[in-house]
Amino acid sequence: MGGGTWSRSTYDRVTARKVSKGASFGYDRHAKSSGRYEAHDDLKVIVGGVPVTRESRDSDEHPESTPIVIGFDVTGSMGENPHVLQKSLKGLFGMLIRKDVVSDPQVAIGAYGDTHCDRVPVQLSQFESDNRIDDNLDNVFIEGCGGGNNGETSTALVWFVANHVVTDAWEKRGKRGYMFLVGDECALEVYPEESKTYLGESQPFTITPQMAFDKARERWDVYFLLVDNFSAQDQHSRRKYEALLGSDHVVTLETTDSAPAVIASIIGLAEGTVDSGELATELTDAGFDSGVALAAVKSATGIDVTKHGVGVAVADTTYGDLKL
Helix (H) / strand (E) containing 245:
helix 237-245
The dihedral through the CA atoms of 76, 80, 85, 86 has a sign that is: positive
Report the predicted TM-score, pTM, of the whole model to 2 decimal places.
0.92
Burial of 204 (0-12, 13-18, 19+ CB in 10 A): exposed
At 19, the amino acid letter reads V
Q: How confident is the model at residue 149 (pLDDT cuts 50, 70, 90)?
A: confident
pLDDT at 324: 27
pLDDT at 6: 86
pLDDT at 90: 86
Q: Percent of the chain, pLDDT > 90?
A: 69
pLDDT digits (tens, 9 = 90+) for 80-114: 889 988 988 889 988 888 778 999 999 999 999 99
CATH entry, 8-259, from 1.10.260.40, 3.30.460.90, 3.40.50.410, 3.30.1520.10: 3.40.50.410
pLDDT at 3: 77
Residue 10's alpha-carbon distances to 17, 107, 126, in angstroms, are: 10, 17, 20
Over 60: is that where the pLDDT of 174 sits?
Answer: yes
Domains in the chain: boundaries: 8-259
Quote the strand ranges of the chain, DSSP E: 46-47, 50-51, 54-56, 66-73, 105-112, 122-124, 165-167, 177-183, 220-226, 250-252, 304-306, 319-323
Over 50: is that where the pLDDT of 237 sits?
Answer: yes
